Amino acid sequence: MKPVIALVGRPNVGKSTLFNRLTRSRDALVADLPGLTRDRHYGEGRVGERPFLVIDTGGFEPVAKEGILHQMAKQTKQAVAEADVVVFLVDGRQGLTPHDKTITDFLRKSGRPVLLVVNKSEGMRYTSVVADFYELGMGEPAVISSAHGDGVHDLVELALDTA
Ligand code: GDP
Ligand code: MG
């Protein structure tokens, strides 16, 4: 069985960009429109000799009771249930949002191993990128740039070691 990595985070943090980099495919739709990828989406990746599966998710909106946002939340929950490890992406440029805290609470309850990962960190100093996110209580964040690739290889190895 290949380990399963689920990419979770609020819309527009860069999940699909990371998914595409991990799978080297264009399967996940990346767009400047937040939240365009509305389905769970599976892909296969490999680092060295280690294959893995990765699930892109279409955002997370636990307060919605119906409609597309509710559907997205359900799919994200399903993806987390299937995951051996969750990569929880946040946006280092935007900083911490209330939405990130809601997702943190949900992930904690899920009991899955979670790696907190700050994306969009290119050109930024580590200390200033991560400062906001310690208060989530998820430990030392990893720092990546999905768009440029910085830190992505190390993140995958860490995720596979955690899975
Ligand atoms: P998703 O909604 O979480 O799937 O986010 P997307 O992958 O669709 O990305 C949302 C926006 O963030 C797009 O405009 C991406 O080009 C941009 N983005 C993604 N990763 C990075 C990154 O590492 N650095 C910067 N500066 N922008 C990024
Ligand atoms: Mg997306």
Ligand nearest to the CA of 9: 1
| Ranges of each domain in the chain | 4-162
Q: How far apart are CA 154 and CA 142, in angstroms?
A: 9
- Look at the domain 4-162 and name its fold: Rossmann fold (3.40.50)
Q: Quote the ipTM score.
A: 0.99
Q: Which residues surround ligand 2, an ion (CB under 5 A)?
A: 15-16, 37
Q: What's the mean per-residue pLDDT of the chain?
A: 86
Q: Which of 17, 60, 76, 124 to mutate to test the pocket of ligand 1 (most atoms within 8 A of CB)?
A: 17
Q: What are the tens digits of pLDDT across the range 68-122? A: 556 667 778 889 999 999 999 999 999 999 989 989 999 999 999 999 999 999 9
pTM: 0.89
Average pLDDT over residues 60-70: 58
b/e per residue, 22-59, with b = 16+ CB within 10 A?
bbeeeebbbeeeebebbebbbbebebeeeebbbbbbbb
